[in-house]
Amino acid sequence: MASPELIVVGSVALDTVTSPAGSVTEALGGSATYFSAAAAILARVGMVAVVGEDFPAEHLTTLSERGVALDGLETAPGRTFRWKGAYEEDLNLAITYDTQLNVFETFEPKLPALWSDTPFVFLANIDPRLQLQVLDMVPGTAFVGADTMNFWIEGKREELSRVIARVDCLTMNDAEIRQFSGEENLLAAIDATAGLGPEYIIVKRGEYGAMLWHAGDLFLLPAWPLGRVTDPTGAGDTFAGGFFGYLASQGEVSPTTVRHGLVLGTVLASFTVEGFSLTGLLAVTPAALARRVTEFGAMTAVTGTGPVLPAP
């Protein structure tokens, strides 16, 4: 297989999730998993992560059949990372019952030698200390994105700030960027964070869509209107995977590719939340994706003339 156009470094997890729609136990999850399963629809993606010796082989098959390059997926002694959580009425809010880092406690990311000239790199939500290690390994020419979460904002603000200062593109949800910046108003929060250095900031707003900041300009995109949400887990990682997957597939970062990329991320995330674990995302066919992208174009085109987006 040709070397990847896009690398993601992040977590692979076994998730136990309860939502109003039901529950799953030790299902395939993790930030790098959702990201790569989404990105692989659009581009050649390779994953850098770690699993324990207990990781079910069938999950490797799932990712591999999806086209995700697993050369960078290490198996370490011990147990796989586990997360246990629930969603109640407010599906925007995950309640964490238990987090077991397990093999992630001692993880040191390693980039396969053949991947060293990969042009797009995404540092999914993991310890900023690891994100900094990866930043030292990737070439200066790569377009690098990073995600994070409240846990690191609270516990590792200094390392996280150094990550943010070194990446091209930061993704955070609205609560996180407010928390990180100390600014309640979203524009003020973006301004304060942009001062650290990233060229692009994407604020994820859950069911309310996303906001992209670049060099003082804003782009606003609504979310896909969902009639049914089964499990919101992985929506943000899917969104980022669709966005970076599209950029990698086009090979360039331009005003048009970033906007189309956000549409792909938004639409792919709508599939993820329709099922537990990866079931919704894995069921996406090219035809189903193209149909929803076209519908989304029609739903958001101010000209009212229908589709404005090329199918991916």
CA angle 263–268–273, rounded 5-degree value: 130
Report yes or no: 35 and 52 within 8 Å, Cβ to Cβ.
Answer: no
Number of Cβ within a 10 Å radius of residue 250: 18
261 class by beta-carbon count within 10 Å (0-12 exposed, 13-18 middle, 19+ buried): buried
Q: Which is nearer to a second copy, 52 or 261 (CB)?
A: 261
What residue type is assigned to position 301 of the chain? Answer: A
Residue 53 Cβ vs a second copy, minimum distance, rounded to whole Å: 42
User: What 3-state DSSP class applies to 262?
Assistant: helix
Can you tell me which of 21, 186, 282, 290 binds a second copy, judged by CB under 8 A? 186
Q: Which is nearer to a second copy, 284 or 293 (CB)?
A: 293
Q: Which is nearer to a second copy, 165 or 299 (CB)?
A: 299
User: What 3-state DSSP class applies to 10?
Assistant: coil
What is the spatial distance between Cα 272 and Cα 270, in angstroms, rounded to a whole number?
A: 6
What is the spatial distance between Cα 256 and Cα 161, in angstroms, rounded to a whole number?
A: 29
Query: Which of positions 217-276 make contact with a second copy (CB under 8 A)?
Result: 217-222, 225-228, 254-256, 258-260, 263
What is the spatial distance between Cα 258 and Cα 289, in angstroms, rounded to a whole number?
A: 18
Q: Which is nearer to a second copy, 144 or 267 (CB)?
A: 267
Q: Which stretch binds a second copy (CB under 8 A): 2-10, 94-102, 110-118, 214-222?
A: 214-222
The site for a second copy, by CB under 8 A, has a size of: 38
The strand pair at 69-76 and 13-19 is best described as unpaired
Can you tell me which of 187, 283, 288, 311 binds a second copy, judged by CB under 8 A? 187
Draw the binding track, 53-92, toward a second copy (x: CB under 8 A; -: no contact).
------------------------------------x---
Residue 261 Cβ vs a second copy, minimum distance, rounded to whole Å: 10
- Residues contributing to the site for a second copy (CB under 8 A): 89, 184-188, 205, 208-209, 211, 217-222, 225-228, 254-256, 258-260, 263, 297-305, 308-309
